[in-house]
Structure 1
Amino acid sequence: MTPQLVLTIGRDALSLLLTISMPVLGVVLAVGLLVSIFQAVTQIHEATLAFVPKLVAAVVVFAIAGPWMLETLVDFIRRTLESIPSVIG
């Protein structure tokens, strides 16, 4: 196993992690921004008002994009495990 191969596997894993996490992070960021603007306009500074909508948005995104995320992860793990014999020998 060469150092170049290890770096390639690591780079692929990090890019997969970024690809899978972007839908959840993007939606939670947008909801957090909207809630912050709402709190600034109404001057209501309740902690649960900031937390609950982001939690609900994350659950909705996981419900919608969860199968795609799981399928992508399983495909990556399958490809990685199947490449072990060619890497060792």
Structure 2
Amino acid sequence: MCRNIKTLFNFEPPATEAEIEASALQFVRKLSGFTHPSKGNQAAFDRAVEEVTEVASRLLASLETQAPPRNRDVEAAKRKAISARRFGTAS
């Protein structure tokens, strides 16, 4: 599950709210151990995702760096190359 959480800071264009929420969802899934919570836990699960999304958005907005913004396409190509080395390539 955690492999789906991507670095969201210092990218051009900046992370979208949907990307932040997707990372928050993965984080809450990992912490809770639930991919799909029961009906009894659904409200608490959804509230946690909402709260983590809000905190993550505030964090990303408050961070500063002197480094130039990273390019999403370049970073995706790096991840793809690492994956190909690790798992081999499909022909």
TM-score by length of 1: 0.38
Query: Which protein has the bigger strand share?
Result: 2
Query: Which protein has the bigger helix share?
Result: 1
TM-score by length of 2: 0.37
Q: Which of the two has higher C-alpha Rg?
A: 1
